[in-house]
Amino acid sequence: MKKAIIFGVTGQDGSYLADFLLKKKYSVHGIKRKSSSFNTERVNHIFEKKNFYLHYGDVTDSSTVQNLINLIKPDEIYNLAAQSHVAVSFKIPEYTANTVALGSLRILEAIRSSNLRKKIKFYQAGSSEMFGKVQQIPQTEKTPFYPRSPYAVSKVFAHWITINYREAYKIFACNGILFNHESPRRGETFVTRKISLALSKIKLGLQRKLLVGNLNAKRDWGHAKDYVEAQWLILQQKKPNDYVISTGENHSVKEFIDLSAKFLNIKLRWKGKGIKTKAYDQKGNCIIECSKKYYRPTEVDTLLGSSLKAKKDLNWKPKIKFNQLVKEMVNSDYMNLKKNYVKKKR
Ligand code: NAP
Ligand code: GDD
């Protein structure tokens, strides 16, 4: 039985990856950090599974990282742990660098200094945010990076330290450069989930207005379920390598809103430009407004990836299309809210 460690198991990707690896008959060791409130909601459904283990740990704490690796002796390590919110990284840059950049280094150092250096395969969760102010369209493994936030700069460090440990110490260390991927388990402050939740609440009369930032930003949005499969495939190759994982199409935040509204049968009428853009429902109520609060000091305007290398080497391509993704997110939020709301009313 193969053993895997997932740093960041309580996050969106960590939980889907744990589901995926358990189905592949792995013994899965998830690392969760200490929190004063419950942070295991996304893995509660596998909590009691025979081959699933949860350990306390934190990527800012090198001795625990080292102890866990020496204790578990994994075949594969997935480093998904991060302060992963781009806007928040401008507010807490040092903490972001500590988790995102140094967190990766701590895990790599623990692998290097253990006697399992030749056995362990390491996956680093890289990001399309590293392309930032894009130097080429579409972005590939060869496109130069131009990071635009403390988060993205930290991911660039993590990317290169992974390559450095591969070359210097022959560790099987790989980077996935993943474009945005979403799901019903997406954190509620990322734009897609913020939209699916808010419009569902507006439809049910539980919220009046949605406040957003830059409506024109474009992202290459895929489904997290497809993307965790790519993470695993990257570690199953004969040689360690780096891969862009993307859908090859992008859409604006405004398009995401329009499609979500369509699935909820809300008819939107847009008015105004830039920060003054507003959207009204069929009754003439203003239900969407822009706020400077959600703009970033330096924005990434557009991202679009090419996954030709992943298709060729990993035989990977995304199965879930943009329309299906939006529909699944909106349906999930609407149905859950409706269930809870009706329960409360009773
Ligand atoms: P997420 O939902 O924010 O999950 C991040 C995970 O890291 C959570 O389990 C979080 O724990 C944990 N974490 C945060 N700080 C930690 C620390 N100091 N020590 C240990 N664990 C810590 O992110 P995601 O969307 O699943 O993304 C997974 C990874 O892929 C991240 O590294 C992200 O930067 C990267 N990535 C994501 C995307 C995307 O579109 N989703 C694209 C490219 C790259 P809590 O649950 O306690 O907060
Ligand atoms: N969060 C948020 N909230 N974003 C908004 C809003 C809003 O109200 N309004 C507009 N946006 C715009 C952002 O300015 C950005 O251009 C875009 O929507 C997407 O924002 P997020 O959903 O926060 O994701 P992200 O692209 O910044 O970062 C995500 O994807 C990266 C991969 O490219 C995160 O998951 C990162 O961890 C990941 O690396």
pLDDT digits (tens, 9 = 90+) for 318-336: 999 999 999 999 999 999 9
> Which residue positions in the chain have pLDDT lower than 50?
none
Tokens of 134: 């894009």
**Ligand 1 pocket test, candidate residues 13, 28, 244, 250, most atoms within 8 A of CB:** 13
The finding on whether 218 has its CB within 6 A of some atom of ligand 2 is: no
DSSP, collapsed to helix, strand or coil, labels residue 40 as: coil
Which pLDDT does position 346 carry in this prediction? 64
Q: Which ligand is nearest to the CA of 193?
A: 2
The reported pTM is: 0.98
User: 97 C-alpha to center of ligand 2: Å?
Assistant: 18
Q: Using the atom order of ligand 2, give the atom closest to the CA of residue 189.
A: 1
Q: Using the atom order of ligand 2, give the atom closest to the CA of residue 213.
A: 9
Contact 128, 155 (CB under 8 A): no
Question: What pLDDT, in 10s, does the model give residues 58-101?
Answer: 999 999 999 999 999 999 999 999 999 999 999 999 999 999 99
Residue nearest to atom 15 of ligand 2 (CA): 217
User: 308 C-alpha to center of ligand 2: Å?
Assistant: 24
The finding on whether 9 has its CB within 6 A of some atom of ligand 2 is: no
Q: Where are the alpha helices (DSSP H) in the chain?
A: 12-23, 62-72, 86-91, 93-97, 103-113, 150-169, 191-203, 224-235, 253-263, 308-314, 322-345
What distance in Å separates the CA atoms of residue 325 and residue 331, rounded to the nearest whole number? 10
The finding on whether 294 has its CB within 6 A of some atom of ligand 2 is: yes
Supply the DSSP symbol for 176.
Answer: E
Q: Which ligand is nearest to the CA of 148?
A: 2
User: 283 C-alpha to center of ligand 2: Å?
Assistant: 30
Which pLDDT does position 341 carry in this prediction? 79
Question: Cis omega before residue 93 (within 30°)?
Answer: no
What distance in Å separates the CA atoms of residue 122 and residue 189, rounded to the nearest whole number? 29
Strand partners of residue 210: 288
Tokens of 310: 């992943």
Q: Is residue 96 exposed (0-12), middle (13-18) or buried (19+ Cβ within 10 Å)?
A: buried
Strand partners of residue 279: 270, 288
Ligand 1 first shell, C-beta below 6 A:
7-8, 10-14, 33, 35, 39, 58-60, 80-84, 99, 125, 127, 178, 180-181, 187
Tokens of 151: 């988060």
- Choose among 173, 171, 125: nearest CA to 152: 125
Residue nearest to atom 15 of ligand 1 (CA): 82
Cα torsion for 32, 33, 35, 38, to the nearest 10°? -10
Which pLDDT does position 345 carry in this prediction? 66
Question: Cis omega before residue 138 (within 30°)?
Answer: yes
Q: Which residues contact 284 (CB under 8 A, 6 or more apart)?
A: none
C-alpha 155, offset from chain centre: 13
What distance in Å separates the CA atoms of residue 174 and residue 157, rounded to the nearest whole number? 14
User: 93 C-alpha to center of ligand 2: Å?
Assistant: 17
**Ligand 2 pocket test, candidate residues 219, 221, 260, most atoms within 8 A of CB:** 219
The finding on whether 124 has its CB within 6 A of some atom of ligand 2 is: no
User: 188 C-alpha to center of ligand 1: Å?
Assistant: 13
Q: Which residues contact 44 (CB under 8 A, 6 or more apart)?
A: none
**Ligand 1 pocket test, candidate residues 7, 58, 80, most atoms within 8 A of CB:** 80
The finding on whether 175 has its CB within 6 A of some atom of ligand 2 is: no
Contact 122, 77 (CB under 8 A): yes
Phi, psi of 55 (to 5 degrees): -125, 145
Tokens of 336: 């859950």
User: 212 C-alpha to center of ligand 2: Å?
Assistant: 11
Instruction: Provide the residue type at 263 as one letter.
Output: F
What is the gyration radius of the CA atoms in the chain, in angstroms? 20
What distance in Å separates the CA atoms of residue 263 and residue 329, rounded to the nearest whole number? 10
